Structure formats: C-alpha cells, structure tokens
Amino acid sequence: MKKKIFMPVLTLVYLLYSYAIITNNNMLGDLLSPILMFIITCVIFYGFVKKQEITILKWLGSMVTLAAFSWFLCDTWWGIQTLVLHTNPEENFITVYGYSMSNLFLFLATSFAVHEDLKKMNKIQAMLDAIIVSVSITVLLWLFVFDQRSDKVVLLLTDPISMASLIMDVIMYAWINVWAFSARKIKTPLYHAILVTGALIFVIADFVYYYIDFYIDYKANTWIDGAYVVAFSLMAVSAILKARAKKEKPDLILSGSKKRVVCKLGVEIFILSAPLIVLIFKRDEIEYFILLVMALLIYYILISFTQKSLFQEKLLQLEKKNVLELEKKVKERTEEITKLHNTDFVTGLYSRRYFEARLSKSLKHLDQNELISVLYIELNKSKSIKYLYGKDTAEKLLKSVSEALYQIAIRNDGFIATYGDDAFAIMVKGYEAEASSETIAMEIIDRCNELFFIDNHGIKATLNIGISCYPLDTLDKNNLIKNADIAMMQARDKGLNRVQSYSDKIGKITDNRHNIEVKLKKVVFDKEFLLYYQPQVYCKDGTLSGFETLIRWYEGGTKFIPPLDFIPLAEETGIIVPLGYWIIENAAKQYALWKEKTGHAYRIAVNVSSKQLVEVDFVEKLEAILKKYDVKPELFEVEITETQQIENSINIQETLNDLKRLGVSIAIDDFGTGYSSLYYLKNLPADRIKIAKELIDNVESDFYSKAIIQMVISVAKMKGNKVIAEGVETKEQWECLQKLDCDEIQGYYFAKPMPAGDIEDKWLDKEKVIEKI
Ligand code: C2E
Ligand code: CA
C-alpha cells in the first residue's frame, strides 16, 4: 500500500519541483527541494550503506550519503531563511559555504574509487588520460571561468572554501574522464555508470555555478539548482539498482566485470569537443585551439603505443591461458590413457603391467625385516563355464569373482590386479605379509565354497592359489611371481580350491620338470625308450589273456624317468604324437615277433593319449602299422583316459567310431577316477572297462568301492563290455573280484611290467597259471 502511494507522490513532487524550476517559483522550489533531498538521502543511505556488506563500498556509500545529507541540510536551512525567517540566505555563512560540504564528501567518495580503480588500471594509460583531461579543463577554465584574467584567480585565492571546492571539482572531473577512458574496454555495471554520471552532472553544474557566480548573478531555483537535484537523483537511482543487484565480488564492483552492461559515457567527446568549444566561442584565441589540438595529437600518439602494448600483453596472456588449458587437456588425456592401459577391461582391476611395476617399486622400498607375499590365483573351469552358460555369463562370473577377491584383498591391505584371462595376483607388504597372504587365501577359498548367482544360475567358482614370499622363498625378485605361479600349479595338481605355498621342494620339482622337458626335446627314441609289458590274466583261473604296453625311459641309457613324470610333458610339448606312433609300431612289432616265436597271437594293449586321438590321420596310420605287422585288429587294444575330453570332442568320437569300424579293441582306462562316469560308459564305443587301482585297493574292506565295482561290472555286462581290474596286489583282492564276476585282472600279484625278454622267459614258455601259495 505504502509503495503504491509513495511512487505517485514522489512523481508529483518531482513534477511540482520541475514546475518550480521552470517558472522560477521560489516558494515552491525552496519548499520542495529539501523534501526531495531528504528522500534522495534516505534512498542513497538504504542502497549504498544499509544494503552494503562490503566495507569499501560502505565507506564510499557513506560519503555519497553525507554529500546528499549536507545538501539537504543546507536546502532546509535555506528554506527556513526564505520562508520562515525571511532573511537572505546568500548572506548567511552556512548557506554560502555549507553546500561545499557536498563537494568535499563527493570528493572523498571519488578518492575511494580512485584508490580501488588504480589497482586494476594500466597506470601509464591512467596518467596520460589524467594529463590530457587536466590540460583541457585548465584551458577551458582559464578561458571561460577566469576569462584569462589573473586577478580573478587572485580573487579566488581570497575565498579558500570556494577555491577548494573548485579544485575538488576539477580533480573529480579529471578522474571521471580518466576512469571513463581507462575503462573504455571494460564492461561496467549499470549502477556504477549512473553513479558516475550523477557525479559528472554535479561537477559540471558546479563549474557552471561558479561561472554564473563570477559573471552573472546567481538566482536560486533556476535550472542550475535543478541540475544538482538531477545529479543527486541519479545517485539515488544508482543506489536502488545496487541494492537490487545480486551479491558481487568486491573486485568487480569498482572496476567492473565483463558480464555487465557497456558503459559508454562518451566523455571522450569532451576532450575532442574542448578545442571545438574554443574554436566556436573564443575564435580570437586560436593559439589555445592549436595548443589543445597539439595536446590531443600527442595524447593519441602515446595512447596508441600503450594500447598496443596492452593489446600485446593481453594476447600474451591469452596465449598463456590457451597453452595452460592445452597442457591441462593433454594431462587429463594422458591420465585417461594410462588408466586404460593400467586397468583390465572386463574386471576393472589394475592390469598385469601395473601390478608388475608396483611390485618392483615395492620391492625397492622394503624396510629391513619387511616381507612381500604374492598370491597367484587361477580360476579353473572357465572354458567349461563359457561352454555351458555362454560368454556373457562367464564374463559376469569373472567380474563377480574379481569383486569378491578385491574386497578380501583390500580388507587385508593387499593390492590386487588381473593377471591374464582368468588369473589374479595379490600383493601383500609388511612384517606380517606371510600370515596375511595365508589369511587372504583361506578367505578366498571360503568365499568360493559359496555360490555366485549370475543370470539366475548359482555357479561355483573353483580356483587354485599359489603363494610365494620375498625374501623367504626367493632372493631373486624376478622369481617372486614365477614361484607363486609354480606353487599354484602344484595346488592345481592336488585338486580344486587348493592353496599351496612355494617351497624348495616345489622349486626342485619344477626344475626337474624343466630338465625333463629339455631332455625330452632332444631324446632319440630308439636309444633311450623301451617298452615293458604287463601281463593281463583271466580272473577265473589266472591264465594269460594279453599284455599292456608301458613305456620306460632310461635317460642316457641309465637314469630311469617314470612315465608319470614325462608323459604329461610329452603331451604338453606335442612330443606324445611321434612317441605314440613309435610305441604303437614297436608294440605291433613285438606282437609279430611273439606270434612268430610261439605260433600264438596274444592281445596287446597300448595307452593312447587324447592328443594323439585328435590327429586326423590317426586311424589311417594305425591301420597301416597293423597291416605292416599283420596284427589282427581285434587283438590290438587302444587304452584311453580323459573321458570327459573325449566326450566333448566330436573329432575324438569320430576317431573312436573309425577304430571300432576297423575292428580295433577300445578300453577305457582308470575307470572310477577323475571324470569317468557311468554316463560316459553308456555313450562311448568301448569293448573293455579297466577299473582303476584306487577302487581295487579297498575292494575287500570298503563297502562303497565294492558297490561301485559291482555296479560297473553289471552295467558293462549289460552293454556287452568286458571288465578288467587294475593294480591287483593281493590274493584277497583277486578272490573278491572273482566273486564279483570280474572278467580279467592285472597287477603286481601276477606280474609287474617287464621287458619283452622276461615275458618270453616267464610267460611265453608255457602258459602259466599262477597259483600263489
Ligand atoms: P596306467 O595306464 O594306469 O598304467 C598302469 C600303471 O599302474 C603302470 O604304471 C603300472 O606299472 C602300474 N601298475 C600295474 N599294476 C600295478 C600294481 O599292482 N600296483 C601298483 N602300485 N602299480 C601297478 P606306469 O608304467 O608307471 O605308468 C603310469 C602311467 O603312465 C600309466 O598309467 C599311463 O597313464 C602312463 N603311461 C605308461 N606308459 C604309457 C605309454 O606307453 N603311453 C602313454 N600314453 N601313457 C603311458
Ligand atoms: Ca593303461
């Protein structure tokens, strides 16, 4: 409500005051002027002091408020004198000099602004601007105010208050120009521009007042008084704008910011118009005109230099900013690439590369007695999981496992990384590193005993862990990961979800493996390999039914290397393929020799690795060998293990079918262990099942083993297969197997594997029936 009335009333007061000025109505003017000045003072106080939080602006605002307030006081006193006391205010000391107080306060306000502005301005530019403006004003004042009369200057000297006011005006005027020039490329807040315009009008009005006072008689309530009110009104408008403006940073307030409205005061026009004014109004004083033009020329020449250097400085700064920004971007990009390089795409863990770098760094900074343990973790069955559930699920499982491992690692202060497709490495550093690594390993195994739920499947992750510790297991830093890997392989040999710490023994085993591998690559088959034969007998009476061929390696002719030590290596290296043909050929040759010697053909079995079965021409080659030595296919038996692999490989299955067509006998070896199961028994084209020694060992004592054997025998019989028991070592086992209706047996109880010569001596002279007493 108040606001609604206030604005029309204020407008009315302004209109009435304007009317008073136009008509030179003293009564109305003297009455309204103090009222207006009171409102203006209040507004300026509200906007520039009360609403101000920044100290420097509060000070500046206070000065402007005081300028308006002292003007209000003088106006009020003037009004009282004319309207109430009916005395002449122009003769009163307070009214004559009181108005100069406003000059003083505005001057102080300008001084604050100058102080702040100079911090932001180019000093040379400001100085040049100040000089040209001062020259122009001095010339104009000299010509117009003092009329080139030095006595006027002297007269002014006798009136120090007026003189001080005039000097302050000149300084203010000069500064406003300087500010406008120097700020020409800077965008200034609107309120700031209005405030400066107000001050400018005040100063110009003051100049005019002094001129009028000198030469014409000053009359109150004329347009000059109106100009003062306009000047203060503009300051009040500025105060309102400032109060409404959002909070700003102090350094933007005085010198402006780039986001503000452009302030083009056009003061430049003034210095350009100064010589024109001289030319028009003081045509006789041409020398002053020339003086001003010369001054302007010099000014513009100098200013173009400073502007240029300013521009170059700006360019330089811009360039510097661009370079800095570019550097920042390059740094960010490099960090991104390094991160990508150092992280694994699927698991999001650090990469092997980063792990190795981190490990060697940690090894370099080890304190005395500090240890570093490395856990090498390998997931098993990733291939079969991929095969069973698909690539996506396998990847999700890998991610879930990696997350679980990560949690365990960080809980125990370990550092984890992905180490290959389905392997991880964890590093633990500290005095208790060895113990911590074991804790981590146990926690991992525990976690892996629970299911991982992926895409509605509950999947069990199986893994093996190898641990190696520096400097306990190795002093060679490079061997740390290698040893953990070796230990992991040892763990894998023992079964799933096993942990193995590296030890010298393991190291020796590995070294041994390595030695064998090297020797195997160089071995001449005929020189170092020979075949042993183990008789197989009928269970019912112990009469000879055939032989199993078993390879023997006497390295360098003397050092015996067991088949279980070199056969897996021969498979890994692929040597098993030529070696396998060598075995088949020699076994077939032996068959032919014995047949020739005894006139009787004995069944002979060879162990064939699945690596050999995948060979596309295996059956063809076998057939050729059998033909070469005239071996009856049904008396030649192929023993196969790793039945799961066979089941999964279409190639091998085709090979087995071809063997079957050829008439070759097929035996499933080591039945009852590993992956073999009744399921495979049903699907594979087998003639004979060889029950593993592990089951035979406990046949008399263990009900479970006995039950399995019984079941295998009955299933095999149903399918028309024969059953042979391996590793029979006692008479009791034999008798037990007899009761279970087993077809054949093989084992140390009857004969150990032996060279062909021994077979001939002990078994082929006469068919022996072993009756062990
Ligand atoms: P396998 O095929 O299961 O061979 C049976 C193993 O049991 C043989 O060990 C044999 O000497 C042993 N054995 C037989 N009866 C008894 C017994 O009553 N008690 C005990 N304790 N052991 C008995 P060997 O010759 O050391 O062969 C080990 C494995 O090496 C074989 O297991 C077979 O997987 C592989 N192997 C042996 N010779 C060949 C071969 O010529 N070719 C291929 N591919 N593998 C072979
Ligand atoms: Ca065998």
Q: Which ligand is nearest to the CA of 548?
A: 2
Say if ligand 1 is within 6 A of residue 517 CB.
Answer: no
Say if ligand 1 is within 6 A of residue 727 CB.
Answer: yes
pLDDT at 250: 46
Instruction: Assign residue 556 a region (left: φ > 0; alpha: ψ between -120 and 50; beta: otherwise).
Output: left
pLDDT at 768: 43
How does the average pLDDT of the chain come out, rounded? 85
Say if ligand 1 is within 6 A of residue 560 CB.
Answer: no
pLDDT band at 80 (very low <50, low <70, confident <90, very high): very high
Checking if the pLDDT of 290 tops 60, the result is yes
Say if ligand 1 is within 6 A of residue 212 CB.
Answer: no
Q: Residue with the nearest Cα to atom 11 of ligand 1?
A: 753
Contact present, 377 and 347 (Cβ < 8 Å): no
pLDDT band at 757 (very low <50, low <70, confident <90, very high): very high
Distance from C-alpha of 111 to C-alpha of 115, rounded to nearest angstrom? 6
- Ligand 1: distance of its center to the CA of 550 in Å? 6
Least confident of 89-93, 156-160, 419-423: 156-160
Least confident of 53-62, 399-408, 557-566, 629-638: 53-62
49-58, Cβ contacts within 8 angstroms, sequence gap of 24 or more: 51/242, 51/243, 52/242, 53/247, 54/250, 54/253, 56/112, 56/116, 56/250, 56/254, 57/250, 57/253
Q: Residue with the nearest Cα to atom 38 of ligand 1?
A: 550
Say if ligand 1 is within 6 A of residue 748 CB.
Answer: yes
pLDDT at 583: 98
- Ligand 1: distance of its center to the CA of 551 in Å? 8
Its sign, for the CA torsion 71, 72, 75, 76, is: negative
- Ligand 2: distance of its center to the CA of 550 in Å? 8
Q: Which residues of 136-147 are buried (b: 16+ CB within 10 A; e: fewer)?
A: bbebbbbbbbbe
Least confident of 95-104, 112-121, 466-475: 112-121
Say if ligand 1 is within 6 A of residue 692 CB.
Answer: no
Say if ligand 1 is within 6 A of residue 612 CB.
Answer: no
Q: Which ligand is nearest to the CA of 551?
A: 1
Give the residue from 103, 95, 93, 66 showing the smallest Cα distance to 78: 95
pLDDT band at 219 (very low <50, low <70, confident <90, very high): confident
- Ligand 2: distance of its center to the CA of 755 in Å? 16
pLDDT band at 642 (very low <50, low <70, confident <90, very high): low
- Ligand 1: distance of its center to the CA of 583 in Å? 14
Instruction: State the pairing for strand pair 544-555/603-607.
Output: parallel
Say which residue, 233 or 698, is predicted with more confidence: 233
Ligand 1 probe mutation, 550, 553, 641, 729, most atoms within 8 A of CB: 550
Q: Which atom of ligand 1 is nearest to the CA of 606?
A: 41
pLDDT at 266: 46
What does the DSSP assignment read for 84-137? II---GGG-HHHHHHTHHHHHHHHHHHHHHHHHHHHHS-HHHHHHHHHHHHHHH
Checking if the pLDDT of 615 tops 60, the result is yes
Q: What is the mean pLDDT of residues 327-341?
A: 81
Say if ligand 1 is within 6 A of residue 466 CB.
Answer: no
Contact present, 133 and 173 (Cβ < 8 Å): yes
Say which residue, 478 or 294, is predicted with more confidence: 294
Say if ligand 1 is within 6 A of residue 672 CB.
Answer: no
Q: Which atom of ligand 1 is nearest to the CA of 571?
A: 44
Q: Residue with the nearest Cα to atom 13 of ligand 1?
A: 727
**Most confident stretch, 105-114, 140-149, 441-450, 675-684:** 441-450
What tens digit of pLDDT does each residue of 507-529 get?
787 788 888 989 998 899 999 99
Checking if the pLDDT of 319 tops 90, the result is no
Say if ligand 1 is within 6 A of residue 729 CB.
Answer: yes
CA separation, residue 738 to residues 246, 517, 536, 547, 744 (Å) = 105, 43, 15, 20, 9
pLDDT at 540: 95
pLDDT at 275: 83
**Residues in the chain, overall count:** 773
Distance from C-alpha of 179 to C-alpha of 126, rounded to nearest angstrom? 8
Say if ligand 1 is within 6 A of residue 550 CB.
Answer: yes
pLDDT at 315: 77
**Phi, psi (deg, nearest 5) at residue 766:** -145, 145
**Phi, psi (deg, nearest 5) at residue 332:** -60, -45
Say if ligand 1 is within 6 A of residue 206 CB.
Answer: no
pLDDT at 770: 37
Cβ atoms < 10 Å from Cβ of 343 = 16
Say which residue, 214 or 300, is predicted with more confidence: 300
Q: Which ligand is nearest to the CA of 581?
A: 1
Q: Which ligand is nearest to the CA of 535?
A: 1
Say if ligand 1 is within 6 A of residue 747 CB.
Answer: yes
Q: Which atom of ligand 1 is nearest to the CA of 726?
A: 15
pLDDT at 316: 79
pLDDT band at 547 (very low <50, low <70, confident <90, very high): very high
Q: Residue with the nearest Cα to atom 33 of ligand 1?
A: 607
pLDDT at 477: 72
Q: What is the dihedral of CA 121, 45, 52, 236, to 10 degrees?
A: -50
Say if ligand 1 is within 6 A of residue 669 CB.
Answer: yes
pLDDT at 339: 76
- Ligand 2: distance of its center to the CA of 39 in Å? 116
What tens digit of pLDDT does each residue of 421-438 get?
889 999 999 998 888 999
**Most confident stretch, 235-249, 314-328, 555-569, 592-606:** 592-606
Q: What is the mean pLDDT of residues 391-409?
A: 91
Q: Which ligand is nearest to the CA of 569?
A: 1
Say which residue, 544 or 299, is predicted with more confidence: 544
What tens digit of pLDDT does each residue of 14-47 get?
999 999 989 988 888 999 999 999 999 999 998 8
Q: Which atom of ligand 1 is nearest to the CA of 532?
A: 25
pLDDT at 769: 36
Q: Which atom of ligand 1 is nearest to the CA of 748?
A: 18
- Ligand 2: distance of its center to the CA of 424 in Å? 37
Q: Residue with the nearest Cα to atom 8 of ligand 1?
A: 550
Q: Which atom of ligand 1 is nearest to the CA of 549?
A: 41
Checking if the pLDDT of 648 tops 70, the result is no
- Ligand 2: distance of its center to the CA of 2 in Å? 112
pLDDT at 492: 87
pLDDT at 325: 87
Q: What's the angle, vertex CA 95, arms to CA 89 and CA 99, rounded to 5?
A: 145
Say if ligand 1 is within 6 A of residue 277 CB.
Answer: no
Say which residue, 424 or 496, is predicted with more confidence: 424
Q: What is the mean pLDDT of residues 252-261?
A: 39
- Ligand 1: distance of its center to the CA of 548 in Å? 9
Say if ligand 1 is within 6 A of residue 562 CB.
Answer: yes
pLDDT band at 765 (very low <50, low <70, confident <90, very high): low
Q: Residue with the nearest Cα to atom 25 of ligand 1?
A: 550
pLDDT at 183: 56
Say if ligand 1 is within 6 A of residue 549 CB.
Answer: yes
- Ligand 2: distance of its center to the CA of 411 in Å? 49
Checking if the pLDDT of 767 tops 60, the result is no
pLDDT band at 259 (very low <50, low <70, confident <90, very high): very low
- Ligand 2: distance of its center to the CA of 607 in Å? 5
Least confident of 175-189, 371-385, 684-698, 756-770: 175-189
Contact present, 614 and 635 (Cβ < 8 Å): no
- Ligand 2: distance of its center to the CA of 674 in Å? 14
Say if ligand 1 is within 6 A of residue 198 CB.
Answer: no
Q: What is the mean pLDDT of residues 551-567?
A: 91
**Most confident stretch, 122-136, 381-395, 754-768:** 754-768
Say which residue, 301 or 188, is predicted with more confidence: 301
- Ligand 2: distance of its center to the CA of 348 in Å? 46
Q: Which residues of 457-493 are buried (b: 16+ CB within 10 A; e: fewer)?
A: eebebbbbbbbbbbeebbeeeebbbbbbbbbbbbbbe
- Ligand 1: distance of its center to the CA of 741 in Å? 24
Q: What is the mean pLDDT of residues 133-139?
A: 81
- Ligand 2: distance of its center to the CA of 549 in Å? 8
- Ligand 1: distance of its center to the CA of 201 in Å? 116
Least confident of 74-88, 111-125, 333-347, 440-454: 111-125
Axis crossing angle, helix 268-281 with helix 123-140, rounded to the nearest 10:
20
Say if ligand 1 is within 6 A of residue 753 CB.
Answer: yes
- Ligand 1: distance of its center to the CA of 670 in Å? 10
Q: Which atom of ligand 1 is nearest to the CA of 729?
A: 18
